[in-house]
Structure 1
Amino acid sequence: MRPLVVTEFTTLDGVVQAPGGPDEDTAGGFAHGGWLVPFFDDTLGAQMDAWFAGVEDFLLGRGTYEIFAAAWPQAPTEDDPVAEALNTRTKHVASRTLTSLDWSGARLLEGDVVDAVRALRDRDGGELQVHGSPGLVQTLLRADLVDELRLVVAPVVLGQGKRLFGDGAIAWSWRLTSSAATPTGVLLCTYRRGGEVETGAMGAEYEDAVSG
C-alpha cells in the first residue's frame, strides 16, 4: 500500500479556497482569491518542488482539475518539477459531471469514489497526491483514507470560504513530523495519521507548570 498525501494551502482559519488568483474560484461570492500570492517566496517554491518530486500520480476533484487543466498544460516543463510532474504523471479525477477529459494523462474515476480511491491507495508504488480539491479531501478524511497532510499555512484570516475540515470529519489525532517557517511567515507543516483522540483533565501537573 502506498501513501495518500494531501497538500493544502490554508489560512489561519482553515480556508483553502482560491489561493492562487482572484478568478480561480469565486463560488459562494468568495472575494479574496489570490490570498496566498503576497506570501509566496523562494523558500515555499523550493518546498513545493521537493514535495512534487515524490509523486507517482495525482488525485484531483473536478474543480481543481479544471483550474489546473486551464493553465499547466501550457507551462514549460524544463527546470520546473511541478509542471513536469503535472504534465507527465497520471491524474485521476473524481467528478459526477464530467464525461471526458482533455488533459493528457487524465482519467476519470469510475464507480464509487471512496472504493476507487481505496483501490488506488492499495497499489504498490510512490505517493498518490491530492492538491486543492477541498470537497474531495473532506470525503477522503471522512473515509479515513488520508495518510499524510502537508499544510502550507499563510498568516491571514479571511472569515469565509471553503474549509479544509467540514462537518463529519472523524475524530482522529495527527502527529507532526516536520515544520518550518518561511521568511514571509508561512508555516510548512507535515502531519501523519496518529491514532484515536485521547482526552484528560488539567490538574496538578498544569498548575506546577504555570507556577514555575
Structure 2
Amino acid sequence: MAELTLTTFVTLDGVMQAPGGPDEDRSDGFEYGGWAAPYVDEGMGEFITEVFGRAGAFLLGRRTYEIFAGYWPEHDEPGDPVAGGLNRLPKYVASTTLKDPAWGPATVLDGENLQSEIVRVKDALEGELQVHGSGQLAQWLLARDLVDEINLLVFPVALGAGRRLFPTGGLPTAYELTASRTTPSGMAIQTYRPTGRATFATVGS
C-alpha cells in the first residue's frame, strides 16, 4: 500500500500560492507570484530529486494538473527524474469539472466519493502517492487526516497575503519532525508525520 505524501513550498508566513511565477495563480487578486524563484538552489534540487525518486503515482488538483500539463511535456529531458515521473507515472486528478485529461496517463477521481477513491488508489499502489502544490486539495486532505507525511520547503520570505496551507479552522494536529535540512539560499526543508490530535497544557506546571 502506498503512503500519501504532500510536498509544498511555503513562505515564512505560511503562504503557498503561486510560488513558481507571476501568472501561476492570480486568484483573489494575488500579486506576488514567483516568490520561490530567487531562492531555488542546488540543495533544493537534490531534495526534489530524492522525493520524485520515491513516487509511485501523483494525486493533483485540477489547477496544478493543468499548470504541469502546460509545462512538463515540453521539458521531458532524458534522465530528469521530475520530468520522467510526471510524464510517465499515473496521475490522479481530483476534480468535478475536468472530464477529458489530455496529459496521461491520467484518471479523474469521482468528486462525490473522493475519500474512498483515494483510499482505493493507495491500496493498489506501492511507493508514494504524491501531492505537489494543489492547495485546495491539500487542505481537504489535511482536514480528513489523509496525509501520511508532509515535506515543507520553507522559503525565507514573508508576503502578508495569499492562500495559506493551514487555514483558520483546520484540525488541531500534532506532528513529529522526522528530517530537517537547510540549503545555501536559506531555505529550510522539514519533513513531518502526524501523530494525532494536538494536546494542551500549562508551561511549567
With the length of structure 2 as denominator, give the TM-score of the two structures. Answer: 0.96
What is the Cα deviation at residue 76 of structure 1? 2.3
- In the other structure, the counterpart of 1:23 is 23
8 Å contact from structure 2 (residues 109, 117) kept in 1? yes
8 Å contact from structure 1 (residues 142, 168) kept in 2? no
- In the other structure, the counterpart of 1:51 is 51
Is 1:165 aligned with 2:166? yes
Separation (CA, whole Å) in 2 of partners of 1:113 and 1:24: 26
Secondary structure of 2:124's counterpart equals: coil
* Paired amino acid for 1:40: V
Larger radius of gyration: 1
Structure 1 stretch displaced more, 162-171 or 47-56: 162-171
* Paired amino acid for 2:137: L
Separation (CA, whole Å) in 2 of partners of 1:104 and 1:97: 17
Secondary structure of 1:184's counterpart equals: coil
What is the Cα deviation at residue 124 of structure 1? 4.6
Separation (CA, whole Å) in 2 of partners of 1:132 and 1:106: 17
* Paired amino acid for 1:153: V
Separation (CA, whole Å) in 2 of partners of 1:188 and 1:34: 19
Give 5+ residue unaligned stretches, structure 2.
none
Separation (CA, whole Å) in 1 of partners of 2:194 and 2:120: 19
* Paired amino acid for 1:163: R
- In the other structure, the counterpart of 1:207 is none
Secondary structure of 1:165's counterpart equals: coil
Separation (CA, whole Å) in 2 of partners of 1:38 and 1:115: 40
Separation (CA, whole Å) in 2 of partners of 1:58 and 1:35: 24
Structure-2 change in CA distance of 1:124 and 1:22 (3 Å): closer
What is the Cα deviation at residue 174 of structure 1? 0.6
Separation (CA, whole Å) in 2 of partners of 1:190 and 1:114: 24
Structure 1 stretch displaced more, 99-108 or 166-175: 166-175
- In the other structure, the counterpart of 1:64 is 64
Identity of aligned residues (%): 47
| 1:75-125 per-position Cα deviation (integer Å, ceiling 9, x unaligned) | 123121100000010110011111111002111112422221122223351
8 Å contact from structure 2 (residues 76, 87) kept in 1? no
- In the other structure, the counterpart of 1:176 is 177
Separation (CA, whole Å) in 2 of partners of 1:184 and 1:124: 35
- In the other structure, the counterpart of 1:210 is none
Secondary structure of 1:153's counterpart equals: strand
Separation (CA, whole Å) in 1 of partners of 2:32 and 2:156: 14
Aligned Cα root-mean-square deviation (Å): 1.2
| 1:39-67 per-position Cα deviation (integer Å, ceiling 9, x unaligned) | 00011011101110000000000110110
With the length of structure 1 as denominator, give the TM-score of the two structures. Answer: 0.92
- In the other structure, the counterpart of 1:119 is 120
Aligned pair count? 204
Give 5+ residue unaligned stretches, structure 1.
205-212
